Chains A and B, each alone.
Chain A
C-alpha cells in the first residue's frame, strides 16, 4: 500500500470538510476521487500534502505516518502535488518554475536530465522556456504545473482538477498525459476531477465523495454503471 488515509476528519474554516474518510492508493495505480464542488476533494489533497491539519485520523505513505509533518517534508518524501488553480510562480520563467519543482533534488545532472525529459514530453514548454509563467495559456500552464510536479521525481502525484477551464481538445490531451505518466514513468496518481467521465476512464479505482464522506467506492467500470453516479456525475438521464 503506497498511500493509506485512515478515517480522516478535517475542518476547514471552522466547518467540517472531511468526515471519517478512508482512501487507499496502490503502487502504480491511478485512483480518482469524483464529487461535486465543495465535497471536500481539494481539502483531502491539501491534507495529504500537509497544508491542512487533520482533526483526527491518520495518513500513511510508504509505511510512514505523514500527517502532522510540514508540507515541504512531505514533498521531499516523494509526493508531488499539482494544486488547484495550478499555482505557478507567475513572475518566474518556465525554466525557473521547473527548477523550483526540483528544489528538493540535490543532483545537478539529474535535474538537467529531468528537464530534458519534461521538454521531450511537453515540447511547448521548451519553446516557452524563457517566458514568464504568468503569460502562458491555460493549457500550457497546466502542462507546466504537471511538469513542475514531476521535476521532484514523485512516487505519488496528486492532481487537482487538471482539466478545469480547458478546451475539450486540451482535456483529451490531459487524459493522455495522465495515462503516460502512470504507465511510462511508473508514478502513482491520485486524481481529482469534476469531469467524472474523463476521470473514470483513466482510473484503476474510484471514490465518490459527497459532503465530506465517501459515498461509494469501486472499480470505474462498476461506478459507471451505478445509477447514482450516472445520474449525479455523468449527467445521464435515466
Chain B
C-alpha cells in the first residue's frame, strides 16, 4: 500500500460521491419540506436517464440540450406528483411511504414495458482518459464530477441568497413560523419538488452514458442517497448532504479496495447504523429542523 494507491482510492471515492450528491440533495430537500420519505425519488433519477436516452438517441437532440430538456420534463412530473399526491401527505409519513412505493412500482413498470426489453445505451459524448496524479479516470467522469459540483454550488447559492431559496430554508426550520411571515407553503413545496426532480434527472442524464440504463437503476441509488442524508442529518438543507455523500463514496471505495466488494457494502451499512446510534441526528447534522 503506497501513497499512489491511497490517492487512487480517494479519487474513486470522490468520483462516486459527487454523483450521489445530486440525488441525495433533492431527496433531503423534499424530506426537509414535506417530511415524507419519497421512495420514488430514485425513479426520478431513472426517468431522467431514460428521458435523455429518448431525447438524444431517438429524437436526435444534442446531449446537453437533452439533459436540460429532461430536467424540465422531470421537474414538471415532480410538480404533478407534489400537487396531486405528496401535498396531501405533508408530514404524514406512514401512508406516504405506501404511496411512494405504489408510484415506484408504476414508474418502473411503465418504463420496462414502454421502452422494450433490450438494453438501452446513451452514446458517450466524451471519450478518452485523464490521468490525474497517476490515477486514470475516464474523461466522462471528470466532466460529470465538474457538472455535479457546479449544480450543487448553484443550489447552495440559490438557497443561501435567493429569496425563494431562503424561504425553503425557513420552511425547513419552522414551517408554521414561515407561514406567519406570509411564505406560501404550497409554492415552497412545489419549488422544492422542482429542484429535487431536476437534480435527480440531471444525475440520471449525466450518469446514463457512464453507467447503464436499467428500469431498476433507481432503487440502489435511492438506498445510498438515503444513507448519505441520514449521515448528513435528515432534512439538513445543504450542509450534511455533501459531506454525507462524499463519505459514502469514500467508505465504499476504501472498503472495496482494501477488503472486498461484498463485505464493503455490509461495512457501509454497519457504519451508518453505528453513526446513527452515537449521533442520532446524523454525523454532520447542522441545519436540522427544530
Contact = CB atoms under 8 A, between A and B. Distances in A.
Interface of A: 49-51, 70-73, 75-76, 80-81, 83, 87-92, 96, 99-101, 103-104, 148-149, 152
Nearest to B178: A100
Interface in B126-181: 163, 166-167, 169-170, 173-174, 176-181
Interface residues on B, range: 20 to 34
B282 to A, nearest CB: 14
Given A89-B177, A103-B163, A72 B169 contact: no
Contacts of A103: 163, 167, 170, 181-183
B180 A81 contact: yes
B176 A100 contact: no
Contacts of A101: 181
B2 interface: no
B173 to A, nearest CB: 4
Contact of A89 (B163, B173, B288): B173
Nearest to B290: A90
B180 A71 contact: yes
B172 to A, nearest CB: 9
B287 interface: yes
A90 B167 CA distance: 14
B286 A72 contact: no
B109 interface: no
A91 B166 contact: no
B181 A88 contact: no
B179 A70 contact: yes
Nearest to A76: B182
Nearest to B184: A72
Given A49-B180, A87-B180, A99-B166, 7 more contacts: A73-B182, A83-B180, A87-B177, A89-B169, A91-B286, A100-B181, A148-B181
Contacts of B169: 89, 91-92
B287 A91 contact: yes
Interface of B: 163, 166-167, 169-170, 173-174, 176-185, 286-288, 290
A184 B176 CA distance: 29
A89 B169 CA distance: 9
B37 to A, nearest CB: 22
A236 B108 CA distance: 72
A89 B179 contact: no
Contacts of A80: 180
A49 B169 CA distance: 21
Nearest to B167: A103
Given A89-B169, A92-B166, A92-B169, A72 B185 contact: yes
Contacts of A51: 176, 179-180
A91 B171 CA distance: 12
Contacts of B163: 99, 103
B180 A104 contact: no
B29 to A, nearest CB: 15
A90 B173 contact: yes
Nearest to B180: A81
B179 A92 contact: no
29 contacts: A49-B180, A50-B179, A51-B179, A51-B180, A70-B179, A71-B176, A72-B183, A73-B182, A75-B180, A75-B182, A76-B182, A81-B180, A83-B177, A83-B180, A87-B176, A87-B177, A89-B173, A89-B177, A91-B169, A92-B169, A96-B166, A99-B166, A100-B166, A100-B178, A100-B183, A101-B181, A103-B163, A103-B181, A103-B183
